[in-house]
Every structure is written in C-alpha cells, then in structure tokens.
Structure 1
Amino acid sequence: MTKTTIYTEDQQQIARFAKALSHPVRVYILDYIANHTKTCCYSGDLHELLDIARSTLSEHLNELKKAGLIQGEINPPYIKYCINRENWAIAKAMFGKFFED
C-alpha cells in the first residue's frame, strides 16, 4: 500500500526552494550571483568572499543546485556558477503568489 501525499506539486516545489534559502550563506550566494556579478561567478571567488571552508561552500552550492536555483559549469580546474534564470523566475512567482495578501 502506498501513502498518498496531500501536498501539491507547487507546495513541494516551494518547500524545496525554501529549504535552499534556509541558510544565510546560501541567501548571500544567491544575492551575490544574481545582483553583484554580470551573470556568473567561480567557486574560488565565492570562497574568497566567505569565511568558510571550501567543503562547506561546496555543500551550500550543492543545496542550491539540488533546488535548481543555480547551475554549475565545470571548466577544469574551475567551476562557474550561474543563476538558473528559469527556476529563479519560477521561485519568484511562486513565493509572490504564496505571500499575496
């Protein structure tokens, strides 16, 4: 017997986005990439800005990637991260609708 979920796809997607935004480092990363770079940045640049271990930065970047808010492009030895514009727009619309009066 399988358990039927009562949550809609939208509710589950909002929860994934919210989880990705649940840590100040991840909010900082998104803000930095979205508003302080031309389009993308390298993980090394982020490491210089943040006072955290590279492994911790990697975990935060992976959470953002898993939620679909950023995408990474490997260009050895560098990894370039960009906002996933399509999912970014979806997240903005979903949160906007969720928080409407």
Structure 2
Amino acid sequence: MSISTDATNLDAAFLALADPTRRAILARLAHGEETVMQLAEPFAMTQPAISRHLKVLENAGLIVRRIQGAKRPCRLSSAGIETVDRWLAMLRDALAQNYDRLDGVLADMVENGEELK
C-alpha cells in the first residue's frame, strides 16, 4: 500500500470515527457480527439512516458487509482497523521517545545538582 493510499484511508477512517453514532456501531461490532436491523435497534433513527452510517464505515474500510439472503451482516474489517492502529502506534512510539528524552534531561539535572520545581 502506498503512502498516499494510507493517507486517504486514514482520512476516511478518522472522518468516519468523528461521528458518535458510527463509533457506537463499531463498539457493537467489536462483540461480533450483526445485521443492519440489529445495529439499528438501540438508536433513535431509521434503518436507512443507520445504513448511511454503515456505508460511511464501509467506504472508510472499517467494516465489511456480506450478503446472506435478504440480510447484510456487518463485521469489523481487520485491515481497516490495523491501518488506524499502525498510525496510532507511530504516535505512541513518538510519545514514548519524547518521554524518554525528558527522563534523560531530568536525570541529568538531578545528577548535576539542579533543583527541580
């Protein structure tokens, strides 16, 4: 996958994740596959509105749907979730390096007898 494709996928994923209804849908799918009707149950919105949210999640690569007769069960997409996770891991690593550098600076200050306030 190219860098521009990754960036496009991340843009779509984070745009999809910006909506609380879509995050709630993903949280439900974390427990397993559900149909559109099952996903619509707890929300005070129509099934077509839920379907629009699902389309956004699908286009972002965060879920996949399959056809099972008249039903369209949805599940999390490992590829889409892993793309987001890789990007977040890069940020976690950068943050850890920043803390390691800060620890080094603070240790040097203590070693040199400087007072920390």
Q: Give TM-score, length-normalised by structure 1.
A: 0.80
Query: Deviation digits for residues 21-51 of structure 1, max 9, x if unmatched?
Result: 11100000011101xx2x3111111111211
Give the paired residue count.
91
- How many Å separate the matches in 2 of 1:44 and 1:13? 27
Conservation of the 8 A alpha-carbon contact between 2:13 and 2:60: yes
- How many Å separate the matches in 2 of 1:57 and 1:85? 21
- How many Å separate the matches in 1 of 2:10 and 2:70? 34
- How many Å separate the matches in 2 of 1:77 and 1:11? 35
The structure whose residues are more often strand, as a share, is 1
- Matches for 1:26-65 after TM superposition, within 5 Å: 26-34=22-30, 37=31, 39-65=32-58
| Larger RCO: 1 or 2 (CA < 8 Å, sep 6+) | 1
The structure whose residues are more often helix, as a share, is 2
How many Å apart are 1:12 and its aligned residue? 2.7
1:80 aligns with 2:69: no
- How many Å separate the matches in 2 of 1:98 and 1:11? 15
Which consecutive unaligned segments of at least 5 residues does structure 1 have?
1-7
Query: Deviation digits for residues 59-97 of structure 1, max 9, x if unmatched?
Result: 000000001100001112211001011221121121332
- How many Å separate the matches in 2 of 1:42 and 1:13? 24
- Per the alignment, residue 90 of structure 1 pairs with 83
- How many Å separate the matches in 2 of 1:22 and 1:89? 18
Deviation above 3 Å: which 4+ runs of structure 1? none
